[in-house]
Amino acid sequence: MANKVAQETISDRAQPKLATLIWLCVAAWMVPGLGHMLLGKKWRALILFSAIVIMFLMGIAMQGELFSTGTDSYLQTLGFFGEMCVGLAMPVARFFGYAGGNPLFVSADYGTAYLVAAGMLNALTVLDTYDIAMGRKP
C-alpha cells in the first residue's frame, strides 16, 4: 500500500519540460556536479565534482592513455567514449598539451583506468541528475 501511495505522488507531480531535462543533463555532463548544483544539491555537487576531477587529475598524473577513435580496436573506441563521458576535462587536457602519457611508465595502466573510471562516474552523475529532476529521488 505504501509503495502504491509513493507511486501516485511521483506521477502526480508536475514533470519538468523536456528542454529543462536536456539542459540539466548536458550541464551535468560538461561539468561534473553542475546538474546537481542547478537542482540545489550543493553538497552533493561539491562531492561529485571533487571526486571526478581528482580522479581525472590522478589519471593524468599517472600518465594514463587518452584513447582515440581512429583505431580499428573496439576496446580503444569504447575507452574513448568512456573518457569522453568526463565532459570538458578531456578536451581541456588535450588543449593544454596532454597527449596521452607514456605506456612504459610504471603506473600508466592504472592512470588509464582512473581516466575511464572518472568518465563512467560522471555518466552515473548525469543519470542521478535526471532522476532527481524527474522527482524519482530526493
Residue 10: all three cell numbers together: 511521483
What is the structure's pLDDT at 48? 97
Burial (CB count <10 Å: 0-12, 13-18, 19+), residue 109? middle
Q: Categorize the per-residue pLDDT at 31 as very low, low, confident or very high, splitting at 50, 70 and 90.
A: very high
Does 9 have pLDDT greater than 60? no
* Domain locations in the chain as residue ranges: 16-134
pTM (predicted TM-score):
0.84
Encode 87-121 in three state secondary structure: CCHHHHHHHCCCCCCCCCCCCHHHHHHHHHHHHHH
The tens digit of pLDDT for each residue in 77-113 reads 898 999 999 999 988 998 998 888 888 889 999 999 9
What is the structure's pLDDT at 102? 83
Mean pLDDT across the chain, nearest whole number?
88
Q: What is the mean pLDDT of residues 46-63?
A: 96
Q: What is the mean pLDDT of residues 31-43?
A: 96
